[in-house]
Chains A and B, each alone.
Chain A
Amino acid sequence: GESVGLHLPTLSVQEGDNSIINCAYSNSASDYFIWYKQESGKGPQFIIDIRSNMDKRQGQRVTVLLNKTVKHLSLQIAATQPGDSAVYFCAENRGRGGSNYKLTFGKGTLLTVNP
């Protein structure tokens, strides 16, 4: 089965609310995690990343939290906007960097923002 999975396949929020998208991973050796946003018919776009030696990282309107104890990753989007509507994927790097770099993706969560 998938090593990286999501608790909620769909999430619907009102414009202006905060969104939280969750992701579980099973490989405790994974040392790097990325959140991607994919709009319909397009390739994934990088949102934010986090290394395993961190538990929180903030970007513009987004925050990623990493809980290594329970192998859980979350993406928080503040003041969600209609343009945030997309599928969000978490990905883990199972390699140890360098020549073993290889991302494994979860199935994704569809975020719908209602005006």
Chain B
Amino acid sequence: DGGITQSPKYLFRKEGQNVTLSCEQNLNHDAMYWYRQDPGQGLRLIYYSQIVNDFQKGDIAEGYSVSREKKESFPLTVTSAQKNPTAFYLCASSSPGTGPNTEAFFGQGTRLTVV
């Protein structure tokens, strides 16, 4: 089945550690996105990529890094510079190349907890 796969579902990080969240899609979508969701809050955009080898900062990029070496993959690294990383992280993809108004499809999320 086509879709977006995030892994792991749960992730625990020690203080000062970098961790990488995986996001893979087989929808042949050009654009991919990372959002952060805190309890009782909406989704805030961390980074997005419209095409391979290119990405842009979102609204809360500090303390995060990404890469887009392959169309299918958009991993997110939460660095030690991110002071409050505990949150639910959502990856999404869309295909704006097929038209300006297409929805984003989401993965099932990774819940990151700092221990």
Contacts and interface: CB of A to CB of B under 8 A. Distances in A.
B61 interface: no
A52 B13 CA distance: 43
Contacts, number: 72
Give the size range of A's interface with the partner: 20 to 34
Contact of A101 (B6, B100, B106, B111): B100
B42 A106 contact: yes
Contacts of A95: 100
Interface residues of B, number: 31
A54 B33 CA distance: 27
A97 B106 contact: no
B64 interface: no
B31 A107 contact: no
Interface string B20-59: 0000000000010101000011111100101000000010
Interface string B88-115: 0010101011011111111111010000
B106 A43 contact: yes
Nearest to B51: A99
Given A42-B109, A101-B94, A93 B41 contact: no
Contacts of B102: 101
Contact of B105 (A32, A41, A46, A98): A46
A51 interface: yes
Contacts of A49: 101, 103
- The 6 lowest CB-CB distance pairs between A and B, nearest first, are A97-B100, A43-B106, A101-B96, A105-B43, A32-B101, A105-B42
Given A32-B101, A97-B96, A97-B101, 5 more contacts: A4-B42, A31-B100, A43-B108, A101-B31, A108-B40
26 contacts: A2-B42, A4-B42, A31-B101, A32-B101, A42-B109, A43-B6, A43-B108, A44-B43, A46-B103, A46-B104, A46-B105, A49-B103, A89-B43, A93-B101, A96-B100, A97-B96, A97-B100, A97-B101, A98-B97, A99-B96, A101-B50, A101-B100, A102-B48, A103-B104, A106-B42, A108-B41
